[in-house]
Chain A
Amino acid sequence: MHIPDGFLALSTWIPAWVVSVGGIGYCIRKVSQTLKDKVVPLMGVMSAFIFAAQMLNFPVAGGTSGHFLGGVLAAILLGPYAAAIVIGVVLTAQCFIFQDGGLTALGANIFNMSFVGAMGGYLIYTGIHRLIKGKVGMMISTAIAAWLSVVAASSVCAIELAISGTSPLNVALPAMVGIHVLIGIGEAIITCLVLSFILKVRPDLIYRKEQT
């Protein structure tokens, strides 16, 4: 759901830019206070993986495709702040090098996928994981958070389109949510598969707040 140039009005994309620059700045400050040595290469690998996985569109219903966003996966491995930065790097490179997502819309895209997707998704993950513990609990929390992160990001995207006057909310919201409810299932499956693989081979890579 990379928004191209032209979908958002000036009154939407400028505030989104301001919020995203401020938010990423805050994340950078947070991360620089707590960054551990082992996380440095992991941030590189995570953005490489997310970039690559985002190229792999999978077909969903009705001639539509979706792709992995990776926000929740990144947040579970790197913590919410580093995850937001990593997603921001991917979105910025996609915008400048590959014309995927417009420069005017980059602020909104970072807002939707870094803040709503990765950080919001992480909040949902920790909230549910607190209720259902253990490995099964972790997987259930991951699946729900990954699914919700995509649905929430697409909802916010619809709201931005509505504020911009591009499409009224009562039309854009059900349309965006309707298709991303399905794309989110793919997100949940991929996130759980990758996470369970990492739990098997490198469980030490999972982000733990008390360690930082």
Chain B
Amino acid sequence: MGLIVAIFLAGIISIFASSYPDGLEKVAENLGFLEKGEGQPSVKSPVPDYEWPGLENKKLATSIAGIAGTLIVFGLSYGLAAILKHKEHKAE
């Protein structure tokens, strides 16, 4: 059920999220060091800024990116936990 809630949040509610800069960004802007972070990022991300690429509709792009991300981190953490669990059984 938690996963369904997460997908709902990332897929639907995310569209209504505030687009104001977050705390750190705002501080960087106010103190004049924001441009330091605006160079080329060290890794090229497939889905920058939580918008699925190639979609005209930005709301849909955010929604799809959110759902995809939610499922990916779910899978990663679940997988990692399952591996750790398995290792523990082996050790016993």
| Chain A residues engaging chain B, CB cutoff 8 angstroms | 1-7, 28, 31-33, 35, 37, 39-53, 55-60, 62-67, 82, 85-86, 89-90, 92-100, 102-104, 154, 157, 161, 166-167, 171-172, 175-176, 179-180, 183
Contact = CB atoms under 8 A, between A and B. Distances in A.
B55 to A, nearest CB: 15
A44 B81 CA distance: 8
Interface centre among A52, A154, A176 (most CB of B within 10 A): A52
Contacts of A47: 73-74, 76-77
Contacts, number: 207
A5 B81 contact: no
Contact of A35 (B9, B62, B88): B88
Chain B, interface size: which category? Answer: 35 or more
A175 B42 contact: no
A92 to B, nearest CB: 8
B54 interface: no
Contacts of B85: 32, 35, 37, 40
B45 A175 contact: no
B56 interface: no
Interface centre among B28, B30, B75 (most CB of A within 10 A): B28
B43 A49 contact: no
Given A1-B22, A97-B45, A100-B50, 4 more contacts: A55-B62, A85-B80, A97-B46, A102-B41
A49 B81 contact: no
Given A57-B17, A175-B30, A41 B78 contact: yes
A89 B87 CA distance: 19
B66 A64 contact: no
A51 B20 contact: no
Interface string B76-92: 11111110110110010
Given A52-B7, A166-B33, A89 B80 contact: yes
Contacts of A62: 26
A170 to B, nearest CB: 11
A52 B6 CA distance: 5
Interface centre among A63, A65, A95 (most CB of B within 10 A): A65
B5 A49 contact: yes
B42 A5 contact: yes
A47 B72 CA distance: 10
B65 to A, nearest CB: 7
B75 A52 contact: no
A89 B77 CA distance: 7
A89 B73 contact: yes
B14 A56 contact: yes
Contacts of B70: 48, 51-52
